[in-house]
Amino acid sequence: MAATEAAGKLAYRIYRAVSYGAEPVVNLHLRWRRLRGREHSLRWTERLGLPSLSRPTGPLLWFHAVSLGEGITAIPIIKECMKQRPDVNVLMTTTTVSAFEVISKRLPSGVIYQFAPLDTPSAVGAFLDYWKPNAIILIESELWPNLIMGASENGIVLALLNARMSSKSFKKFSGPLLLPMISLMLSKFSLIVPLSTMQAIHFQLLQASPYIIKFSGDLKYAVEEFDASEGELRSIQDLKLQLAHRQVWMASSIHRGEEEIMLGVHRVLTEMHPDIVTILVPRNPQHGLEIAQELQKAGQNVALRSRQENLKPGTNIYVVDTLVVRGKWWRQQWQVIDDGGRVVAAGRLSYSQSSMAVKAAASFVTAIEACIEVNNMILNLVPYEAPFHAYIKPCMGELRYLYRLTPIAVVGGSFFSGLAGHNIFEAAAAGCAVLTGRHVGHFSHMVLEMQQLNPLSVLQVSGKLELEKALKELFSDAKVLEARRMAAKQAFRALSTGIVANVWSLLNVHVLNQALC
């Protein structure tokens, strides 16, 4: 054990030296990402550990999640923390602009939001020196050596919630070069809450102490209802009216290639039900528009959500797409041009102390930080003096509303080898009959737990033929459809009950009592 610890310390010293020497290159890369619109145009220096807000007095808990999905997972426990311990300040960080756009608007009042520092000695050191957190709660798979070792050296308590790692990461961490350092890092944690028994085994094989591994359930089960804007509710209600009295199913979060499976099944179903509507929700920003264009070339009647196209009686495919637009800056003005050359929005730029607000000339555009919101769609603007491309993408929470419009949800990202599935629990929460492919990655525990509660709650299919057979049965037998919908809803209720309370109890006992004593 002593030899392993010594090897871990040596490996970390090498990592620290290399990351310190690489800081000039890393900083240049960060600036390049800012110019490309991949970092926040004004708050990018937070990634260097430089704060944009003042630290309040008193104890502070730092919650960190890498991106949007993990950040949304953290919100229920942050709310519980503020409810149970109003005397404690809460800092939330993520690393991506997309997470910032959504999470900064969803966090409770009083939560401090910053971008997380890069894992370089200078950035981590500056961040910890300024914010001085009493504890750091990491979400899912954030194992950064400089951050973890720096926190330990400063006496900061560490916890890892919804802890998971892919099979690929586990294999890499288990190798002789990385295992000593990973083992050393895991020894610094006071609490690890794994997603599943298999994940717990992974962490123990990486030499995490079994005494710090506790179970509570998956925080993703704590599905929250986000407040919808008036425009969002009106848009969804309009779509609901258009879908009335028609057979509907939805394929959500589909990856490239999966649309061929969905459209093949759609063609078969239209022979049985000519009025059927297939809702396609691609995962990739540009994929939806490409699908629609190909279908239109083939003579299909397709409605695009980004263009606010209504479902007509002859429309059988509805694409919740992301519209690629072109635009340009000149002086302090901007305009957005759709793929047909039409100006859909225009305005002038203004600056404030903390953010760049886009002031729009068109009444249907509202200003938010570094992007604009057009008819319930977020448009990222790339702020540099040149023609740019941007993407309009569905706002966070829209998928949850769409699930309410369909009795059947096929969750994609799961039909080909190499894919790793997506969250099926949102569909279950909405009372959909839930189907997915067999390549579900770390969501396999979610599928298994739901199926153990009720085998009808989730149906896994191998490909087009099995999906086609399953959907034919659901559309032809109302009793089977209702049984699957009820099973999914009941599984959701059973698994979601008490999750936040359980996680909070573990944090209170193993983290807060130690950090705030």
In a domain, 164, yes or no: yes
Average pLDDT, integer, range 153-160: 98
Q: Are residues 151 and 190 in the same domain?
A: yes
Q: Would the CA dihedral through 148, 151, 153, 158 be positive or negative? A: negative
Q: Over 90: is that where the pLDDT of 284 sits?
A: no
In a domain, 286, yes or no: yes
Q: Quote the CA–CA distance of 429 and 337 in Å, as a whole number.
A: 38
152: enclosing H helix or E strand: helix 145-153
Angle between helices 287-297 and 258-272 (to 10 degrees): 50
Q: Are residues 160 and 251 in the same domain?
A: no
In a domain, 140, yes or no: yes
Which is more confidently placed, 353 or 112? 112
Per-residue confidence (pLDDT) for residue 392, from 0 to 100:
41
Q: How many domains does the chain have?
A: 3
Q: Over 80: is that where the pLDDT of 251 sits?
A: yes
Per-residue confidence (pLDDT) for residue 225, from 0 to 100:
56
Per-residue confidence (pLDDT) for residue 98, from 0 to 100:
77
Could you tell me what percent of the chain has a pLDDT over 70?
A: 82
Q: Quote the CA–CA distance of 96 and 87 in Å, as a whole number.
A: 29
Token pair in block for residue 334: 């901007």
Residue that is written with structure tokens 């944009």 in the block: 52
Per-residue confidence (pLDDT) for residue 386, from 0 to 100:
36
Q: Are residues 192 and 252 in the same domain?
A: no
Bridge partners, 357 (sequence order): 350, 369
Q: Are residues 198 and 64 in the same domain?
A: yes
Choose the final residue of a domain: 391, 412, 436.
Answer: 391
In a domain, 373, yes or no: yes
Residues 354-382: b if buried by 16+ CB within 10 A, e if exposed: ebbbbebeeeebeebbbbbbbbbbbbbbb
Confidence of residue 100 (pLDDT cuts 50, 70, 90): confident
Q: Quote the CA–CA distance of 115 and 185 in Å, as a whole number.
A: 23
CATH number reported for the structural domain that contains residue 170 in this entry: 3.40.50.11720
256: enclosing H helix or E strand: none
Q: Which of 496, 25, 417 is nearest to 224 (CA)?
A: 496
Confidence of residue 38 (pLDDT cuts 50, 70, 90): confident
Residue 353 DSSP code: S
- Which of 354-363, 383-392, 411-420 is most confident? 411-420
Q: Over 90: is that where the pLDDT of 440 sits?
A: yes
Could you tell me what percent of the chain has a pLDDT over 90?
A: 60
In a domain, 506, yes or no: no
- Using an 8 Å Cβ cutoff, are 439 and 421 in contact? yes
Q: Over 70: is that where the pLDDT of 91 sits?
A: yes
Confidence of residue 3 (pLDDT cuts 50, 70, 90): confident
Average pLDDT, integer, range 107-122: 96
Average pLDDT, integer, range 444-464: 95
Q: Are residues 261 and 190 in the same domain?
A: no
Q: Quote the CA–CA distance of 101 and 92 in Å, as a whole number.
A: 13
Q: Are residues 361 and 237 in the same domain?
A: no
Q: Are residues 418 and 342 in the same domain?
A: no
Average pLDDT, integer, range 43-67: 95
In a domain, 7, yes or no: yes
Average pLDDT, integer, range 288-307: 84
Q: What are the CA-CA distances from residue 22 to residues 42, 122, 129 (Å)?
A: 24, 11, 21
Q: Are residues 190 and 102 in the same domain?
A: yes
Average pLDDT, integer, range 474-498: 95
Q: What are the CA-CA distances from residue 70 to residues 188, 230, 285 (Å)?
A: 22, 27, 19
Q: Are residues 346 and 404 in the same domain?
A: no
DSSP string of 313-331?
TT--EEE---EEEEEEEET
- Using an 8 Å Cβ cutoff, are 289 and 307 in contact? no
Confidence of residue 387 (pLDDT cuts 50, 70, 90): very low
Q: Are residues 316 and 329 in the same domain?
A: no
Average pLDDT, integer, range 388-396: 42
Q: Which of 426, 494, 489, 437 is nearest to 72 (CA)?
A: 426
Q: The whole model's pTM is what?
A: 0.78
Active site residues: 70
Token pair in block for residue 121: 């000695």
| Structural domain harbouring 16 | 2-215
Q: Over 60: is that where the pLDDT of 143 sits?
A: yes
Confidence of residue 367 (pLDDT cuts 50, 70, 90): very low
Q: Over 60: is that where the pLDDT of 228 sits?
A: no
pLDDT, tens only, 308-344: 788 888 899 999 875 333 333 333 444 555 545 555 5
pLDDT, tens only, 500-510: 999 999 999 99
pLDDT, tens only, 13-24: 999 999 999 999
Per-residue confidence (pLDDT) for residue 83, from 0 to 100:
95
Average pLDDT, integer, range 368-382: 38
Choose the final residue of a domain: 343, 360, 391.
Answer: 391
CATH number reported for the structural domain that contains residue 277 in this entry: 3.40.50.2000
- Using an 8 Å Cβ cutoff, are 116 and 93 in contact? yes
Average pLDDT, integer, range 270-279: 94
Q: Would the CA dihedral through 37, 39, 40, 44 be positive or negative? A: negative
Q: How would you class 181 by CB atoms within 10 Å of its CB: exposed for 0-12, middle for 13-18, buried for 19 or more? A: buried
Q: Are residues 304 and 357 in the same domain?
A: no
Choose the final residue of a domain: 345, 364, 391.
Answer: 391
Average pLDDT, integer, range 16-41: 92
In a domain, 456, yes or no: yes
Q: Are residues 209 and 235 in the same domain?
A: no
DSSP string of 435-471?
EE-S--GGGHHHHHHHHHH-TTSEEE--SHHHHHHHH
Per-residue confidence (pLDDT) for residue 381, from 0 to 100:
43
Per-residue confidence (pLDDT) for residue 97, from 0 to 100:
84
Mean pLDDT of the chain: 84
Per-residue confidence (pLDDT) for residue 9, from 0 to 100:
93
What is the Cα 413 distance to its own chain's centre? Answer: 14
In a domain, 225, yes or no: no
